[in-house]
Amino acid sequence: MAKTWYPVVDYSVCTECGTCVSMCPHSVYDTKKAPTPVVKVPDSCVDHCHGCGNRCPSGAITYIGDDTGWTPPNGKKAESDGACSCGGGSCCG
- The binding site for ligand SF4 (CB under 6 A) comprises 7, 9, 14-20, 24, 26, 28, 35, 37, 45-46, 49-52, 56-58, 60-61, 91
Strands 61-64 and 6-9, how do they pair? Answer: antiparallel
Q: Is 72 helix (H, G, I), strand (E, B) or coil?
A: coil
Q: Give the span between the Cα atoms of 40 and 28, in whole angstroms.
A: 6
* Residue 73 Cβ vs ligand SF4, minimum distance, rounded to whole Å: 12
Closer to ligand SF4 by Cβ: residue 38 or 80: 38
Q: Is 6 helix (H, G, I), strand (E, B) or coil?
A: strand
Q: Give the span between the Cα atoms of 50 and 62, in whole angstroms.
A: 9
Closer to ligand SF4 by Cβ: residue 35 or 82: 35
Closer to ligand SF4 by Cβ: residue 80 or 93: 93
* Residue 85 Cβ vs ligand SF4, minimum distance, rounded to whole Å: 10
